[in-house]
Amino acid sequence: MKNIFLDKNIIVTGGASGIGEALVTKLLAFGANVVVVGRSAQYDGSATYFQADMSVQDEATEVFDTIIAELSTIDYVINSAGIFMGGEIRDTPLEKWHSVMDNNIYAISHGAQLAYLQMITQGHGHIVNIASTAGLIPVPAMGIYGATKYALVGLSHAMRNEASDLGVKVSVACPTIVNTPLYDTALYNHLDKQRLLKPRKNLQTPDVAADKILKGIIKNKATIHTAFATKSIWGLYRLSPGLYDIAARRIMRKYRSDYRVV
C-alpha cells in the first residue's frame, strides 16, 4: 500500500476501538502523527488521546480547538464514532431513536464540520466519515440505524462537491458488517442478541476493513467499500430496487421467525 500518511497530522474520532482502533494502529505504523478522540476516560493505545463526547457540540468544539492549537494543521480527519442499533422500527422506543441519532449523526457531523472549517482555512485536507452499507441500501431490521447512515452518506457526498474547489477532499466509507465491540454495546429491540451474534466470528475483521478504507482514502474515492459482496448488493439495489425489495422482504420474514423476541 502506498504511504501518503508519513508525518501527517491525523485525527481519528472513535479511534479507541473497532475499525477506528485498527485505522489508528495502521496509521501509526505508516509514521503518521495520530490523535484519537474518544468518550472513555481511559485509553491504552499509543496515539495521543483526548477525551470528549463528539455528539455534544461544546465538547467537540473544545477538543478540536485544543488539537488545532497544538498541531496548527490537520491533514486528515477520520470520523469513526457511533453506535449500532438493531430491531424493527415498531419495536424501538423514541428515546432510543434519539440516542442512535445523536451518536451516529451528530458525533460524525460535528467532527466533519469542525475539520472542514479548519481545512478551508489552511487550503488542504481530507475528511473521511465512516458510515455503513446500511447507509446505501435499506437493510431489514436496521431501519433507524440505517437512517443515520444514509444521513452521513448524503452529508459526505454533498460536502465533497462543495469542498472540491476549496482544496478539501471528502470520502465516506461504507463497511460491510465487521466483527467489532460495537455489537457488544449495541441497542437491541425485541431481538435475540445471542442468536444473532452467534456467527460473528465469520464476519470481516477490523484489520481487513481498515486496509480497504485506507486504500480508498489513498485513491480519494467518494464512496469506499470494504467488501465486494456488499458493493455488489448496492449495485443490484441501484439497478433494480424492486428485485432487491423482494429479497429484503424474504429476509424480514426470516428475521421475524428466527430472531424477533416478543
Task: Over range 152-159, report the average pLDDT.
Answer: 98
pTM for this prediction: 0.93
Distance CA 191, CA 194 (A): 9
Task: Over range 211-218, report the average pLDDT.
Answer: 98
Do β-strands 187-188 and 168-174 pair in parallel, antiparallel, or remain unpaired?
unpaired
Residue 27 has what DSSP assignment? H
Task: Over range 65-90, report the average pLDDT.
Answer: 94
Q: Which residue has the higher pLDDT, 246 or 196?
A: 246
pLDDT bracket for residue 1 (50, 70, 90): confident
Tell me the three cell numbers of residue 165. 474547489
3-state secondary structure of 65: helix
Residue 191 has what DSSP assignment? B
Domains within the chain, CATH numbers bracketed: 9-258 (3.40.50.720)
Q: What percentage of the chain has pLDDT greater than the value 90?
A: 84
pLDDT value, residue 121: 97
